[in-house]
A = this chain, B = another copy of it.
Amino acid sequence: MSSAGPGGLPDFPFSLEAIDGRARVGRLETPHGTVITPCFMPVGTKGTVKGMLPAGLKSLGAQIILANTYHLALRPGSDVVRDLGGLHRFMGWEGPILTDSGGFQVFSLLDTADVQDEGVAFRSVYDGSRHLFTPERAIAEQQALGADFIMCFDQCPPATEDRSLVERAVQRTTDWARRCREAHLAAEGRGTGGLQMLLGIVQGGTFADLRRRSAEALLEIGFPGYAVGGLSVGEDRELMLQSTESTVNLLPRERVRYFMGIGDPVGILDMIALGVDLFDCVLPTRVARMGTAFTKEGRLNLRNARFAVDPDPLEDDCDCTACQFFSRGAIRHFVGQKEMLGAQLLTEHNLRHLFRLVDGARAAIREGRFEEYRGSVSAGW
Protein backbone atom coordinates (compact mmCIF):
# COMPACT_ATOMS: atom_id res chain seq x y z
CA MET A 1 0.00 0.00 0.00
CA SER A 2 2.90 2.36 0.58
CA SER A 3 6.66 2.52 0.44
CA ALA A 4 9.26 5.08 1.39
CA GLY A 5 9.10 7.87 -1.16
CA PRO A 6 10.94 11.16 -1.58
CA GLY A 7 12.57 12.35 1.59
CA GLY A 8 12.07 8.87 3.05
CA LEU A 9 8.44 9.74 3.75
CA PRO A 10 5.51 7.31 3.35
CA ASP A 11 4.28 7.39 -0.21
CA PHE A 12 0.92 6.09 -1.40
CA PRO A 13 0.94 4.74 -4.95
CA PHE A 14 -0.20 7.30 -7.49
CA SER A 15 -0.46 6.46 -11.16
CA LEU A 16 -1.72 8.39 -14.15
CA GLU A 17 -4.42 6.63 -16.14
CA ALA A 18 -5.11 9.22 -18.81
CA ILE A 19 -3.75 12.56 -19.96
CA ASP A 20 -5.41 15.16 -22.14
CA GLY A 21 -3.39 18.35 -22.58
CA ARG A 22 -2.26 19.07 -19.03
CA ALA A 23 -5.43 17.59 -17.53
CA ARG A 24 -5.00 14.13 -16.10
CA VAL A 25 -6.84 11.22 -14.53
CA GLY A 26 -4.94 9.53 -11.73
CA ARG A 27 -5.35 6.73 -9.23
CA LEU A 28 -4.23 7.26 -5.66
CA GLU A 29 -4.16 4.19 -3.44
CA THR A 30 -4.55 5.03 0.25
CA PRO A 31 -4.79 2.81 3.32
CA HIS A 32 -8.52 3.63 3.37
CA GLY A 33 -9.32 3.09 -0.28
CA THR A 34 -8.72 4.39 -3.77
CA VAL A 35 -9.14 7.99 -4.85
CA ILE A 36 -9.61 8.61 -8.57
CA THR A 37 -8.43 12.10 -9.49
CA PRO A 38 -9.28 14.83 -10.37
CA CYS A 39 -11.25 14.82 -7.14
CA PHE A 40 -13.14 17.46 -5.17
CA MET A 41 -12.79 16.94 -1.41
CA PRO A 42 -15.68 18.17 0.80
CA VAL A 43 -14.62 19.94 3.99
CA GLY A 44 -15.62 18.68 7.43
CA THR A 45 -14.05 21.46 9.46
CA LYS A 46 -14.90 20.21 12.94
CA GLY A 47 -15.12 16.55 11.99
CA THR A 48 -18.37 16.70 10.02
CA VAL A 49 -19.37 18.00 6.61
CA LYS A 50 -22.21 20.12 7.98
CA GLY A 51 -25.61 18.58 7.30
CA MET A 52 -24.31 15.33 5.81
CA LEU A 53 -24.25 11.84 7.25
CA PRO A 54 -21.19 9.82 6.19
CA ALA A 55 -23.30 7.30 4.26
CA GLY A 56 -24.91 10.16 2.38
CA LEU A 57 -21.52 11.61 1.47
CA LYS A 58 -20.39 8.25 0.19
CA SER A 59 -23.47 7.65 -1.90
CA LEU A 60 -23.13 11.13 -3.43
CA GLY A 61 -19.69 10.18 -4.63
CA ALA A 62 -17.34 11.66 -2.04
CA GLN A 63 -14.03 9.80 -2.16
CA ILE A 64 -12.01 11.65 0.46
CA ILE A 65 -12.94 14.32 2.97
CA LEU A 66 -11.04 17.00 4.86
CA ALA A 67 -10.91 17.92 8.51
CA ASN A 68 -9.31 20.86 10.21
CA THR A 69 -6.39 20.47 12.59
CA TYR A 70 -6.75 23.92 14.15
CA HIS A 71 -10.36 23.32 15.16
CA LEU A 72 -10.00 19.68 16.21
CA ALA A 73 -6.80 20.37 18.17
CA LEU A 74 -8.69 22.96 20.22
CA ARG A 75 -12.07 21.13 20.37
CA PRO A 76 -12.24 18.36 21.43
CA GLY A 77 -8.43 18.05 21.34
CA SER A 78 -6.40 15.78 19.09
CA ASP A 79 -5.62 13.52 22.05
CA VAL A 80 -9.35 13.06 22.63
CA VAL A 81 -9.86 12.13 18.98
CA ARG A 82 -6.95 9.69 19.24
CA ASP A 83 -8.34 8.15 22.45
CA LEU A 84 -11.72 7.77 20.76
CA GLY A 85 -10.08 5.64 18.09
CA GLY A 86 -8.72 8.20 15.66
CA LEU A 87 -10.29 10.51 13.12
CA HIS A 88 -11.89 7.87 10.89
CA ARG A 89 -13.83 6.41 13.80
CA PHE A 90 -14.53 9.89 15.19
CA MET A 91 -16.05 11.08 11.92
CA GLY A 92 -17.78 7.79 11.14
CA TRP A 93 -16.00 7.83 7.78
CA GLU A 94 -14.20 4.75 6.57
CA GLY A 95 -12.68 6.34 3.47
CA PRO A 96 -9.54 8.46 3.14
CA ILE A 97 -9.21 11.71 5.11
CA LEU A 98 -6.87 14.68 4.74
CA THR A 99 -6.14 17.13 7.54
CA ASP A 100 -4.72 20.55 6.91
CA SER A 101 -2.00 21.68 9.26
CA GLY A 102 -3.86 24.52 10.93
CA GLY A 103 -1.54 27.02 9.25
CA PHE A 104 -4.26 28.81 7.35
CA GLN A 105 -6.50 29.17 10.42
CA VAL A 106 -3.89 30.43 12.87
CA PHE A 107 -3.24 33.30 10.48
CA SER A 108 -6.78 34.01 9.37
CA LEU A 109 -9.14 33.41 12.27
CA LEU A 110 -8.02 36.03 14.75
CA ASP A 111 -5.83 38.99 14.06
CA THR A 112 -3.61 38.22 17.01
CA ALA A 113 -1.14 35.70 15.58
CA ASP A 114 2.47 36.36 16.47
CA VAL A 115 4.75 34.69 13.92
CA GLN A 116 8.31 33.81 14.89
CA ASP A 117 10.75 31.41 13.32
CA GLU A 118 9.89 28.94 16.07
CA GLY A 119 6.18 28.95 15.25
CA VAL A 120 3.00 30.93 15.69
CA ALA A 121 1.61 32.10 19.00
CA PHE A 122 -2.12 32.77 18.84
CA ARG A 123 -5.30 32.90 20.87
CA SER A 124 -8.00 30.25 20.51
CA VAL A 125 -11.22 31.44 18.85
CA TYR A 126 -13.05 29.22 21.36
CA ASP A 127 -11.92 30.63 24.66
CA GLY A 128 -9.09 33.08 24.04
CA SER A 129 -6.54 30.68 25.54
CA ARG A 130 -2.94 31.05 24.34
CA HIS A 131 -1.37 28.44 22.07
CA LEU A 132 1.88 27.99 20.20
CA PHE A 133 1.71 26.05 16.95
CA THR A 134 5.11 24.96 15.69
CA PRO A 135 5.84 22.67 12.76
CA GLU A 136 6.51 19.92 15.29
CA ARG A 137 3.24 20.50 17.11
CA ALA A 138 1.25 20.68 13.84
CA ILE A 139 2.64 17.28 12.85
CA ALA A 140 2.07 15.82 16.32
CA GLU A 141 -1.55 17.01 16.28
CA GLN A 142 -2.06 15.50 12.84
CA GLN A 143 -0.43 12.26 13.90
CA ALA A 144 -2.80 12.05 16.87
CA LEU A 145 -5.79 12.73 14.62
CA GLY A 146 -4.63 10.03 12.23
CA ALA A 147 -5.75 11.18 8.76
CA ASP A 148 -4.28 9.48 5.68
CA PHE A 149 -2.89 12.72 4.29
CA ILE A 150 -1.35 15.41 6.44
CA MET A 151 0.01 18.82 5.51
CA CYS A 152 3.16 20.75 6.33
CA PHE A 153 2.72 23.73 8.63
CA ASP A 154 3.11 26.80 6.43
CA GLN A 155 2.97 30.56 6.69
CA CYS A 156 0.14 31.79 4.54
CA PRO A 157 0.24 35.58 3.94
CA PRO A 158 -2.31 37.33 1.72
CA ALA A 159 -1.41 36.46 -1.88
CA THR A 160 -0.81 40.05 -2.94
CA GLU A 161 0.94 41.09 0.25
CA ASP A 162 4.10 43.16 0.16
CA ARG A 163 6.85 41.23 -1.62
CA SER A 164 9.31 41.28 1.26
CA LEU A 165 6.71 39.78 3.58
CA VAL A 166 5.84 37.03 1.09
CA GLU A 167 9.54 36.35 0.59
CA ARG A 168 10.01 35.91 4.31
CA ALA A 169 6.96 33.62 4.43
CA VAL A 170 8.48 31.46 1.68
CA GLN A 171 11.69 31.13 3.64
CA ARG A 172 9.83 30.24 6.80
CA THR A 173 7.56 27.79 5.00
CA THR A 174 10.67 26.08 3.62
CA ASP A 175 12.32 25.86 7.04
CA TRP A 176 9.10 24.61 8.58
CA ALA A 177 8.62 22.04 5.81
CA ARG A 178 12.05 20.62 6.68
CA ARG A 179 11.10 20.47 10.35
CA CYS A 180 7.73 18.88 9.51
CA ARG A 181 9.44 16.18 7.49
CA GLU A 182 11.86 15.48 10.33
CA ALA A 183 9.07 15.37 12.89
CA HIS A 184 7.11 12.95 10.76
CA LEU A 185 10.13 10.74 10.07
CA ALA A 186 10.84 10.64 13.80
CA ALA A 187 7.46 8.91 14.22
CA GLU A 188 8.26 6.61 11.29
CA GLY A 189 5.64 8.40 9.25
CA ARG A 190 2.84 7.05 11.39
CA GLY A 191 -0.20 8.46 13.13
CA THR A 192 -3.10 6.95 15.05
CA GLY A 193 -4.53 5.36 11.91
CA GLY A 194 -1.28 4.02 10.42
CA LEU A 195 1.04 5.47 7.77
CA GLN A 196 0.42 9.07 6.75
CA MET A 197 1.47 10.78 3.55
CA LEU A 198 2.86 14.28 4.23
CA LEU A 199 2.41 16.91 1.52
CA GLY A 200 4.56 20.00 1.06
CA ILE A 201 2.86 23.35 0.42
CA VAL A 202 4.24 25.79 -2.14
CA GLN A 203 3.83 29.42 -1.10
CA GLY A 204 4.97 32.64 -2.80
CA GLY A 205 1.76 34.60 -3.30
CA THR A 206 1.40 35.81 -6.86
CA PHE A 207 5.13 36.38 -7.34
CA ALA A 208 6.33 33.95 -9.98
CA ASP A 209 9.95 33.95 -8.82
CA LEU A 210 8.97 33.36 -5.20
CA ARG A 211 6.69 30.50 -6.26
CA ARG A 212 9.64 29.01 -8.12
CA ARG A 213 11.94 29.46 -5.13
CA SER A 214 9.38 27.82 -2.83
CA ALA A 215 8.73 24.90 -5.16
CA GLU A 216 12.40 24.22 -5.80
CA ALA A 217 13.22 24.26 -2.12
CA LEU A 218 10.43 21.80 -1.35
CA LEU A 219 11.45 19.55 -4.22
CA GLU A 220 14.95 19.50 -2.82
CA ILE A 221 13.67 18.40 0.58
CA GLY A 222 11.47 15.90 -1.21
CA PHE A 223 7.78 15.20 -0.56
CA PRO A 224 5.52 12.47 -1.92
CA GLY A 225 3.02 15.11 -3.06
CA TYR A 226 2.68 18.87 -3.30
CA ALA A 227 0.03 21.48 -2.62
CA VAL A 228 -0.41 24.96 -4.00
CA GLY A 229 -1.23 27.16 -1.02
CA GLY A 230 -1.83 30.82 -0.34
CA LEU A 231 -4.00 31.46 -3.39
CA SER A 232 -7.75 31.86 -3.82
CA VAL A 233 -7.67 34.26 -0.88
CA GLY A 234 -9.09 37.32 -2.57
CA GLU A 235 -6.64 38.01 -5.39
CA ASP A 236 -7.67 38.47 -9.01
CA ARG A 237 -8.78 35.21 -10.62
CA GLU A 238 -6.49 35.57 -13.66
CA LEU A 239 -3.52 36.16 -11.38
CA MET A 240 -4.48 33.12 -9.34
CA LEU A 241 -4.59 30.92 -12.43
CA GLN A 242 -1.27 32.27 -13.73
CA SER A 243 0.38 31.65 -10.37
CA THR A 244 -1.08 28.17 -10.20
CA GLU A 245 0.04 27.40 -13.73
CA SER A 246 3.61 28.51 -13.12
CA THR A 247 3.71 26.52 -9.88
CA VAL A 248 2.21 23.34 -11.30
CA ASN A 249 4.68 23.46 -14.19
CA LEU A 250 7.50 23.11 -11.66
CA LEU A 251 6.02 20.05 -9.94
CA PRO A 252 6.96 16.52 -10.95
CA ARG A 253 4.46 14.91 -13.30
CA GLU A 254 4.25 11.70 -11.30
CA ARG A 255 3.38 13.35 -7.98
CA VAL A 256 -0.13 14.21 -6.82
CA ARG A 257 -1.00 17.94 -6.89
CA TYR A 258 -3.45 19.61 -4.57
CA PHE A 259 -4.80 23.14 -4.95
CA MET A 260 -5.97 24.36 -1.55
CA GLY A 261 -9.31 26.12 -1.53
CA ILE A 262 -11.29 26.15 -4.73
CA GLY A 263 -14.90 25.00 -5.00
CA ASP A 264 -16.74 26.96 -7.67
CA PRO A 265 -17.54 24.98 -10.82
CA VAL A 266 -15.60 27.20 -13.24
CA GLY A 267 -12.59 27.36 -10.94
CA ILE A 268 -12.57 23.59 -10.57
CA LEU A 269 -12.51 23.08 -14.34
CA ASP A 270 -9.76 25.70 -14.60
CA MET A 271 -7.70 23.79 -12.05
CA ILE A 272 -8.24 20.47 -13.78
CA ALA A 273 -7.11 22.09 -17.03
CA LEU A 274 -3.87 23.10 -15.33
CA GLY A 275 -3.17 19.54 -14.21
CA VAL A 276 -4.34 19.78 -10.60
CA ASP A 277 -5.50 16.48 -9.08
CA LEU A 278 -7.11 17.39 -5.75
CA PHE A 279 -9.00 20.45 -4.54
CA ASP A 280 -11.21 21.36 -1.61
CA CYS A 281 -13.37 24.23 -0.48
CA VAL A 282 -16.13 25.08 1.98
CA LEU A 283 -17.87 27.08 -0.76
CA PRO A 284 -20.46 24.52 -1.99
CA THR A 285 -21.50 23.56 1.53
CA ARG A 286 -21.34 27.09 2.99
CA VAL A 287 -23.45 28.71 0.28
CA ALA A 288 -25.89 25.79 0.60
CA ARG A 289 -26.50 26.75 4.21
CA MET A 290 -27.21 30.30 3.05
CA GLY A 291 -29.84 29.02 0.58
CA THR A 292 -27.85 28.90 -2.66
CA ALA A 293 -27.89 26.06 -5.17
CA PHE A 294 -25.33 25.37 -7.89
CA THR A 295 -26.99 24.64 -11.23
CA LYS A 296 -25.86 24.41 -14.83
CA GLU A 297 -27.50 27.80 -15.37
CA GLY A 298 -25.63 29.39 -12.50
CA ARG A 299 -26.42 29.87 -8.84
CA LEU A 300 -30.00 29.99 -7.59
CA ASN A 301 -30.77 31.89 -4.41
CA LEU A 302 -33.71 29.94 -3.02
CA ARG A 303 -34.62 32.85 -0.75
CA ASN A 304 -35.86 34.66 -3.83
CA ALA A 305 -39.66 35.07 -3.82
CA ARG A 306 -39.89 33.87 -7.42
CA PHE A 307 -39.35 30.30 -6.21
CA ALA A 308 -42.26 30.37 -3.74
CA VAL A 309 -44.62 28.32 -5.92
CA ASP A 310 -42.05 26.82 -8.27
CA PRO A 311 -42.87 23.10 -8.55
CA ASP A 312 -39.68 22.20 -10.45
CA PRO A 313 -36.63 20.52 -8.98
CA LEU A 314 -33.40 22.48 -8.58
CA GLU A 315 -32.04 20.74 -11.69
CA ASP A 316 -33.92 18.51 -14.11
CA ASP A 317 -31.33 15.80 -14.52
CA CYS A 318 -29.84 15.63 -11.02
CA ASP A 319 -30.18 12.47 -8.95
CA CYS A 320 -29.71 13.96 -5.48
CA THR A 321 -32.39 13.80 -2.77
CA ALA A 322 -33.37 17.44 -3.30
CA CYS A 323 -33.91 17.01 -7.03
CA GLN A 324 -35.56 13.61 -6.79
CA PHE A 325 -38.08 14.45 -4.09
CA PHE A 326 -38.45 18.20 -3.52
CA SER A 327 -39.71 21.23 -5.40
CA ARG A 328 -37.88 24.54 -5.38
CA GLY A 329 -40.91 25.97 -3.58
CA ALA A 330 -40.62 23.45 -0.75
CA ILE A 331 -36.87 23.96 -0.45
CA ARG A 332 -37.44 27.72 -0.30
CA HIS A 333 -39.87 27.16 2.60
CA PHE A 334 -37.38 25.04 4.53
CA VAL A 335 -34.58 27.56 3.94
CA GLY A 336 -36.79 30.46 4.98
CA GLN A 337 -37.89 28.65 8.13
CA LYS A 338 -34.26 27.80 8.96
CA GLU A 339 -35.20 24.13 9.03
CA MET A 340 -32.18 21.82 8.92
CA LEU A 341 -33.73 20.11 5.91
CA GLY A 342 -33.11 23.18 3.71
CA ALA A 343 -29.39 23.11 4.47
CA GLN A 344 -29.28 19.33 4.18
CA LEU A 345 -30.93 19.30 0.75
CA LEU A 346 -28.87 22.16 -0.69
CA THR A 347 -25.63 20.78 0.71
CA GLU A 348 -26.34 17.42 -0.84
CA HIS A 349 -27.28 19.02 -4.12
CA ASN A 350 -24.24 21.29 -4.37
CA LEU A 351 -21.87 18.45 -3.58
CA ARG A 352 -23.59 16.17 -6.05
CA HIS A 353 -23.43 18.92 -8.66
CA LEU A 354 -19.66 19.22 -8.20
CA PHE A 355 -19.11 15.46 -8.13
CA ARG A 356 -21.02 15.08 -11.38
CA LEU A 357 -19.03 17.95 -12.87
CA VAL A 358 -15.75 16.27 -11.96
CA ASP A 359 -17.02 12.83 -13.01
CA GLY A 360 -17.71 14.37 -16.40
CA ALA A 361 -14.25 15.91 -16.50
CA ARG A 362 -12.62 12.55 -15.82
CA ALA A 363 -14.65 10.86 -18.53
CA ALA A 364 -13.79 13.66 -20.95
CA ILE A 365 -10.07 13.41 -20.18
CA ARG A 366 -10.15 9.68 -20.80
CA GLU A 367 -11.79 10.36 -24.14
CA GLY A 368 -9.42 13.17 -25.09
CA ARG A 369 -12.13 15.83 -25.20
CA PHE A 370 -11.60 17.70 -21.96
CA GLU A 371 -11.40 21.20 -23.49
CA GLU A 372 -14.63 20.57 -25.37
CA TYR A 373 -16.30 19.41 -22.14
CA ARG A 374 -14.97 22.38 -20.23
CA GLY A 375 -16.30 24.75 -22.86
CA SER A 376 -19.73 23.16 -23.04
CA VAL A 377 -20.20 22.97 -19.29
CA SER A 378 -18.92 26.47 -18.55
CA ALA A 379 -21.19 28.00 -21.18
CA GLY A 380 -24.15 28.18 -18.80
CA TRP A 381 -22.46 30.23 -16.10
A339 near B50 with CB under 8 A, answer yes
Q: Which residues of B contact A51 (CB under 8 A)?
A: 340-341, 344
Interface positions of A from 310 to 330, Cβ below 8 Å from B: 311, 321, 325-327, 329-330
- Find A341's partner among B53, B75, B309 (CB 8 Å cutoff): B53
**Stretch in A5-13, A85-93, A102-110 with 4+ CB within 8 Å of B:** A85-93
Interface positions of A from 292 to 350, Cβ below 8 Å from B: 308-309, 311, 321, 325-327, 329-330, 332-334, 336-337, 339-341, 343-345
**Stretch in A76-84, A219-227, A274-282 with 4+ CB within 8 Å of B:** A76-84
A150 vs B53: C-alpha distance when bound (angstroms)? 33
Q: A46 in the interface, Cβ–Cβ < 8 Å?
A: yes
Q: A55 in the interface, Cβ–Cβ < 8 Å?
A: yes
- Find A327's partner among B53, B90, B345 (CB 8 Å cutoff): B90
A60 vs B337: C-alpha distance when bound (angstroms)? 25
Q: Report how many copies the assembly holds.
A: 2
Q: A47 in the interface, Cβ–Cβ < 8 Å?
A: yes
> With A76-B333, A89-B327 in contact, is A48–B84 under 8 Å at CB?
no
Q: A54 in the interface, Cβ–Cβ < 8 Å?
A: yes
A85 near B339 with CB under 8 A, answer no
A332 vs B56: C-alpha distance when bound (angstroms)? 21
A51 vs B345: C-alpha distance when bound (angstroms)? 11
A301 vs B89: C-alpha distance when bound (angstroms)? 21
A92 near B326 with CB under 8 A, answer yes
Q: Which residues of B contact A340 (CB under 8 A)?
A: 48, 50-51, 340, 343-344
Closest to A50 in B: B340
A344 near B53 with CB under 8 A, answer yes
B83 near A311 with CB under 8 A, answer yes
B339 near A46 with CB under 8 A, answer yes
A341 vs B47: C-alpha distance when bound (angstroms)? 10
Q: Which residues of B contact A308 (CB under 8 A)?
A: 76, 80
Q: Which residues of B contact A92 (CB under 8 A)?
A: 321, 325-326, 330
A266 vs B126: C-alpha distance when bound (angstroms)? 40
Least CB distance from A323 to B in Å reads: 11
A84 near B339 with CB under 8 A, answer no
B344 near A84 with CB under 8 A, answer no
B48 near A339 with CB under 8 A, answer yes
Q: Which residues of B contact A332 (CB under 8 A)?
A: 76
B330 near A84 with CB under 8 A, answer yes
Least CB distance from A94 to B in Å reads: 8
Q: Which residues of B contact A75 (CB under 8 A)?
A: 333, 336-337
B333 near A47 with CB under 8 A, answer yes
5 nearest CB pairs, A to B: A92-B325, A48-B341, A84-B329, A76-B333, A90-B330
A residues sitting closer than 8 Å to B (CB atoms) are 46-48, 50-56, 75-76, 80, 83-85, 89-92, 308-309, 311, 321, 325-327, 329-330, 332-334, 336-337, 339-341, 343-345
